[in-house]
Chain A
Amino acid sequence: METLFLPLVNGLTWAMMVFLVASGLSLVFGVLKILNFAHGGFFMLGVYLTYTFIRNHALSPLKFFLIVFLCGIILAIIGAILERLIIRRFYQLDEAYMLIATYALLLVIEGSVEGIWGLQFLALPSPKGLGGGTEIFNTIIPSYSLVIIAAGVAVAVLLNLLINRSPAGKIIRAAAGDPDMTSALGINVPIIYTMIFAFGIFLAAIGGGIGAPNQAITPTMASSFIIQAFGVVVVGGLGNIGGAFLAAIILGLVDSFGTIYLPQIPGIAFYAAMALILLVKPHGLFESSISTK
């Protein structure tokens, strides 16, 4: 039991960390039909901005998460401005231009982070009381892992309620599926696009802030996370947030147990599982659930 429980928790922690990044990516793809490379950059900005407010203070959990939320809002506003100034110019063009534009944005973010915060590794203390271990099933597991898992599950549940149950969700799905018809019904579709883009950035940023105490903070973290998040989004089915959630769990567990049983080749299991799933199901596990044509 103990030998299986720790890798299970580790796998789920990794899965929820990646899901926090992938959820916004998938939402933005589902509605705007764009792949936003800069998404990982905003995740990283969430980390660094949270670090800047907190530094080496061990805050109460309430204060800590309030600051994370605030950083999410600040970056979402910046995201909204970027959507209006840059991103929307590319909607009508070939997808390749959008990829290049958002990749350029990622490079700008990476450069800015290096310029402002430097190349050295930084670390953020966990909130008070969440830094130690918790004993479950005779196994000591890091308490903060449970926070990350809870945050991932909470985001998945709330996003599902927002998209599938709320009145706003109906408009979002309508605007995603048929923007022209939806405009003709009196809905300001460009504003919805701006809001969804900004909300995606918000999710990336709070994912960064929540995960920050669990990470080595470096300017290269954006690239490594965005690759894994892309993998999860593709395996889950582009634009399907529930799919991304399941894909993150599957790939996280495969990776975690793969490292135990195949310690000679750590990190390979994730890519092997991803390739295998995509060979069998090239469009991912599920269809897009946001669009409604």
Chain B
Amino acid sequence: MLSVENLEAYYGTNYIVQQISLHIPEGKGVALLGRNGAGKTTTLKAIMGMGPKIKGAVNFKGRDITNCKTYQKARMGLGFVPEDRRIYQELSVTDNLAVGRYATAGRTEPFAMEYVLETFPLLMKLRNRKGGQLSGGEQQMLTVARTFMGRPELVLMDEPAEGLAPLIVKELAMVIRGFCQKWNMAILLAEQNLWFSRYCTEYVYLIDGGKIVFKGSWDDFDDQEDIKRKYLSV
């Protein structure tokens, strides 16, 4: 579904993402683990074309999208959920969701607003509230729901569990996993929360200092106690 070959990303002259390759099969979940500053966000932004200068090749659904514009990638079915949520503060919850619809343009029909609201029951009660008046957890739900509105075929999700209460983390994991399986949606999940990542994905990549230092299944990952200690703060 998505294959990234020898991707490099630069901020100015800073060489951040260093020759990484990733493969995400259709409908599957892939976790991108790594400690703070490892390069997770930069990798997702590089794939999406949001900021860093890039080299290398990004293929999506068999097409070379390295030089496509961000909005074109979104319309091809590449969804993006940012780590800082980026809710439209002055728009209501439903208007925030409505903006998410346009990613389906020329590809498929968007989900019905009611269906997405049912999937995120927390948002249902808040539908007329302004985005800026939601709690952190509610905003996190909304940013995920907004991207889901556009029916992505692969969603790049940046640390959705960060800073959330354990109960909300659990609810979010169940919603995301359920949605991905129901709609055969693939996910590339940048995370530091191992429980959350394990719940939502099948494969693991570990990134450190901008390089991939491990890839494999969760079983492979569990077999190697030392990498966990070396590359993650657990």
Contact = CB atoms under 8 A, between A and B. Distances in A.
A186 B71 contact: yes
B113 interface: no
Contacts of A167: 98
Given A185-B103, A185-B147, A187-B102, A178 B74 contact: no
B74 A292 contact: no
Contacts of A170: 91, 95, 98-99
Contacts of A173: 88, 90-91
Shortest Cβ-Cβ A-B pairs, 10 listed = A186-B103, A186-B74, A292-B90, A181-B86, A183-B70, A292-B88, A184-B80, A186-B102, A186-B75, A183-B71
A186 B153 CA distance: 13
B74 A183 contact: yes
Contacts of B150: 185-186
Contact of A182 (B89, B98, B99): B99
Contacts of B71: 183-189
Interface in A260-293: 289, 291-293
Contacts of B228: none
Contacts of B88: 173-174, 177-178, 292-293
Given A177-B88, A292-B89, A293-B89, A185 B69 contact: no
B12 to A, nearest CB: 14
A139 B159 CA distance: 69
B21 interface: no
Interface residues of B, number: 27
B91 to A, nearest CB: 5
Interface in B57-78: 69-71, 74-75
Given A177-B88, A177-B90, A184 B70 contact: yes
Given A173-B90, A178-B86, A293-B88, A183 B105 contact: no
A171 interface: yes
Given A183-B69, A186-B150, A174 B48 contact: no
B50 A292 contact: no
Contacts of B70: 180, 183-184
Contacts of B102: 171, 185-187
Interface in B143-166: 146-147, 150
18 contacts: A167-B98, A170-B91, A170-B99, A173-B90, A174-B88, A177-B88, A178-B88, A183-B71, A184-B82, A185-B146, A185-B147, A186-B102, A186-B103, A186-B104, A187-B102, A292-B91, A292-B131, A293-B90
A44 to B, nearest CB: 35
A289 B90 CA distance: 9
A185 B99 contact: yes
Interface in B12-32: none
Contacts of B146: 185
A54 B117 CA distance: 56
Contacts of B147: 185
A189 B82 CA distance: 18
B100 interface: yes
Contacts of A185: 71, 74, 99-100, 102-103, 146-147, 150
Nearest to B95: A170
A187 B107 CA distance: 14
A85 B75 CA distance: 26
A222 B55 CA distance: 48
B50 A180 contact: yes
Interface string A173-211: 110011011111111110000000000000000000000
Nearest to B150: A186
Interface in A144-193: 167, 170-171, 173-174, 177-178, 180-189
A145 B70 CA distance: 49
Given A183-B71, A184-B70, 10 more contacts: A180-B51, A183-B50, A183-B69, A184-B74, A185-B99, A185-B103, A186-B104, A292-B88, A292-B90, A292-B131
Nearest to A181: B86
A188 B147 CA distance: 16
Contacts of A289: 90
Given A174-B88, A174-B91, A292-B90, A187 B99 contact: yes
B35 to A, nearest CB: 25
Contacts of A186: 71, 74-75, 102-105, 150
A167 B113 CA distance: 14
Nearest to A184: B80
Interface string A114-138: 0000000000000000000000000
B91 A184 contact: no
